[in-house]
Amino acid sequence: MKKIFIFLFVLFLISCNASIQMLDEDGFRIYQCGWSLNENDILIQSHDGFIIDDIYYTEHISSDSVTVKNPLEHDINVRFTYNQTEEWICVGAESEYSMTI
């Protein structure tokens, strides 16, 4: 009986997934609790995804300025966080939005 319990316990530990994430009220991962953004960093997030420099992201940090491209055929909402400011921008279908801080 003891061997069965140990086997089941080990099986339980193996099957556990340690990917615990903290999410904010908008469903985004809390990026290192906001402590890692430098003064001139911009945190860009979108549930739909976006393109920066021909790479697809859902979350990315850029410095000083950034151009976000929406490759989709519908508008997307993109959240920009910088200098303790958070703002949502609607990027039109198959268009782009540039931001400089």
Q: For 64-79, how does the pLDDT look when each residue is reduced to its tens digit (9 = 90+)?
A: 899 999 999 999 999 9
Percentage, residues of the chain above pLDDT 90 = 49
How many whole angstroms from its chain centre is CA 72?
A: 18
Radius of gyration of the chain measured on its C-alpha atoms: 20
Among 9-13, 88-92, 93-97, name the one with the lowest average pLDDT: 9-13
Long-range CB pairs of 1-4 (<8 Å, 24+ gap) are: none
- The residue written with tokens 């530990």 in the block is 13
Question: What are the counts of helices (DSSP H) followed by strands (DSSP E) for the chain?
Answer: 1, 6
pLDDT at 46 (0 to 100): 92
